[in-house]
């Protein structure tokens, strides 16, 4: 989830500094690269050796560390990261930040950076409630500094109240939220993906060749632009998009229920290859061969058309409803008619004739159909298709300020 993201972690001088070791470990588990900076006060609580061992990196401690200056200047150090995290952020560090003081490595880095900064304050409850700290906090928030915590609880000093550093999991969630800020932040998307399985009996089902790769690629492209994604998937082979709210379903009816339960969304993208029919009376008992050799009779019932019902909602219709059209003949004509019949805004039509190998394959060749007509896209990977689609979505729903 944080694969390859660079975190500059400033460890301030508070009892919670020991938790920063766990933070380093958890960030590393998520694929982040942590560059640690230990303040002088921080080194009273944790040793540079343990910080360095856990992060696998050199620990930066002194502004006038000539060795460090020859390797990497403090300006560069402050800008090479994707985010600066201060944990624990002491009252003193917050005061320095609020006043623009730069008299040690940590405060200088914080003044020199052009990257987002997240602080996790930690201090005695009285210090936290002190007018000076609250004044500094308001100023820092006004300066665009992100803040997580503090939490309420009993403290090392024996008092109880607000001042405990936020839980490590909350700090990590906040780091992710800050890094995910993008043109689709604060937008909620629904993506359906994969095939559905329609049971014949408890051991057999009717399925299709969808791998779920296109739906997962779209969800990843949305997440990369800061969107919140509810990802409703059938039993697909593709990896699930990390960071989405993932809902696993099996049948079209379950997918329909999950879509209805997902609540309001700004846009909905129906990439799933939903079965049009289910087997009526698919029961709990396995269908057995008969001695007479009579073949089983399968009766089909129609499944709910999820795309159509969302497109035609009278209330709570997403601003943008996007469907796919899997066609084998007259692709553009059929998909154009499908868009009107379903009532969706855009249709991505693809030719799923067996010779195209699109169903289950890694590439796609889309004709994009909207009110303005049909636009043929070149054959490209499902990843590139997703990015092209999501860039179009950003044109309609994106926040121009991000
Ligand atoms: N779809 C859906 N619910 C269904 C069937 C389809 O939400 N019960 C959605 C698919 O996710 C896709 C679009 O409708 O975005 C078109 O799917 P497609 O299979 O091409 O069309 P159908 O509506 O099933 O029509 P037909 O099979 O007759 O071409």
Q: 68 pLDDT band (50/70/90 cuts)?
A: low
Residue 126 has pLDDT above 70, yes or no: yes
User: Alpha carbon 321 to chain centroid distance?
Assistant: 20
Residue 73 has pLDDT above 70, yes or no: yes
**Residue 105 class from Cβ within 10 Å (0-12 exposed, 13-18 middle, 19+ buried)?**
buried
CA distance 171 to 165: 9
Q: Which domains does the chain carry?
A: 6-179 (3.40.50.1950), 188-397 (3.40.50.10300)
**Contact predicate 303/252, CB 8 Å:** yes
Residue 325 CA: nearest ligand 1 atom is 20
Give the DSSP letter string of 290-322: -TT-PPPP--EEEPP-HHHHHHT-SSS--SEEE
pLDDT digits (tens, 9 = 90+) for 160-176: 888 999 999 999 988 98
Token pair 């919140």 in the structure block, residue: 228
3-state secondary structure of 84: strand
Which pLDDT belongs to residue 269? 98
Which pLDDT belongs to residue 98? 97
Q: Residues lining ligand 1, CB < 6 A?
A: 192, 252, 270, 272, 274, 276, 303, 305-307, 323-326
Residue 211 has pLDDT above 90, yes or no: yes
Phi, psi at residue 387, to the nearest 5°? -65, -40
Q: Determine which one of 157, 298, 340, 396 is catalytic.
A: 157
Residue 37 has pLDDT above 80, yes or no: yes
Which pLDDT belongs to residue 137? 95
Q: 238 pLDDT band (50/70/90 cuts)?
A: very high
Which pLDDT belongs to residue 28? 94
Residues paired with residue 230 on neighbouring β-strands, in sequence order: 190, 245
Q: Which of 231, 318, 325 to mutate to test the pocket of ligand 1 (most atoms within 8 A of CB)?
A: 325
Q: 65 pLDDT band (50/70/90 cuts)?
A: low
Which pLDDT belongs to residue 173? 87
Which pLDDT belongs to residue 400? 56
Taking the chain, what is the end-to-end CA distance rounded to the nearest angstrom?
21
CA distance 107 to 118: 14
Which DSSP category does 369 fall into? E
* Ranges 48-52, 155-159, 199-203, 334-338: which has the least confidence: 155-159
CA distance 123 to 88: 9
For the chain, the farthest-separated pair of C-alpha atoms sits apart, in whole angstroms, at 92
CA distance 195 to 218: 16
For residues 319 and 351, the model is more confident at: 319
CA distance 109 to 62: 11
Average pLDDT over every residue of 22-42: 95
Q: Please report which residue ranges of 86-189 form alpha helices under DSSP H.
A: 91-99, 105-112, 125-129, 131-142, 168-180
Which pLDDT belongs to residue 1? 65
Question: Closest Cα to atom 27, ligand 1: which residue?
Answer: 276
CA distance 253 to 124: 54
Q: Does pTM surpass 0.75? A: no
265 is catalytic: no
List the beta strands (DSSP E) in 274-352: 277-279, 300-302, 320-327, 346-351
- Separation of CA 273 and ligand 1 centre (Å): 7
């Amino acid at each position: 989830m944080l694969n390859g993201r660079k975190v500059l972690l400033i460890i301030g001088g508070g009892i919670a500094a020991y938790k920063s070791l766990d933070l380093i470990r958890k960030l590393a588990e998520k694929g982040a690269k942590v560059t640690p900076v230990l303040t002088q006060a921080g080194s009273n609580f944790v040793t540079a050796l343990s910080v360095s061992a856990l992060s696998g990196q050199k620990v930066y401690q002194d502004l006038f560390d000539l060795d460090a200056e020859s390797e990497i200047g403090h300006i560069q150090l402050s800008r090479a990261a994707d985010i600066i995290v201060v944990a624990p952020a002491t009252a003193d560090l917050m005061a320095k930040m609020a006043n623009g003081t730069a008299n040690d490595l940590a405060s200088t880095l914080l003044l020199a950076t052009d990257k987002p900064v997240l602080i996790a304050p930690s201090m005695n409850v009285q210090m936290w409630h002190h007018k000076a700290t609250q004044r500094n906090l308001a100023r820092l928030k006004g300066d665009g500094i992100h803040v997580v915590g503090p939490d309420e609880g009993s403290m090392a000093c024996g008092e109880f109240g607000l001042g405990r550093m936020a839980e490590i999991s909350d700090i990590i969630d906040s780091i992710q939220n800050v890094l995910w800020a993008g043109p689709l932040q604060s937008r909620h998307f629904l993506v359906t993906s994969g095939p559905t399985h329609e049971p014949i009996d408890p051991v057999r089902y009717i399925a299709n060749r969808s791998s779920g790769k296109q739906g997962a690629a779209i969800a990843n492209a949305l997440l990369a632009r800061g969107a919140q994604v509810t990802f409703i998937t059938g039993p697909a082979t593709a990896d699930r998009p990390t960071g989405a709210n993932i809902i696993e379903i099996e049948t079209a009816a379950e997918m329909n229920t999950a879509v209805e339960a997902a609540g309001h969304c700004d846009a909905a993208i129906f990439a799933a290859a939903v079965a049009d029919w289910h087997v009526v009376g698919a029961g709990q008992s396995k269908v057995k061969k008969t001695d007479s050799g009579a073949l089983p009779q399968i009766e089909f019932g129609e499944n709910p058309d999820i795309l159509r019902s969302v497109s035609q909602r009278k209330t709570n219709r997403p601003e943008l409803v996007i469907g796919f059209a899997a066609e084998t003949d007259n692709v553009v004509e059929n998909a154009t008619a499908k868009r009107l019949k379903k009532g969706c805004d855009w249709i991505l039509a693809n030719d799923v004739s067996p010779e195209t190998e699109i169903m289950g394959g890694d590439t796609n060749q889309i004709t994009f159909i909207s009110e303005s007509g049909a636009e043929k896209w070149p054959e490209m990977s499902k990843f590139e298709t997703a990015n092209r689609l999501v860039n179009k979505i950003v044109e309609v729903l994106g926040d121009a300020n991000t």
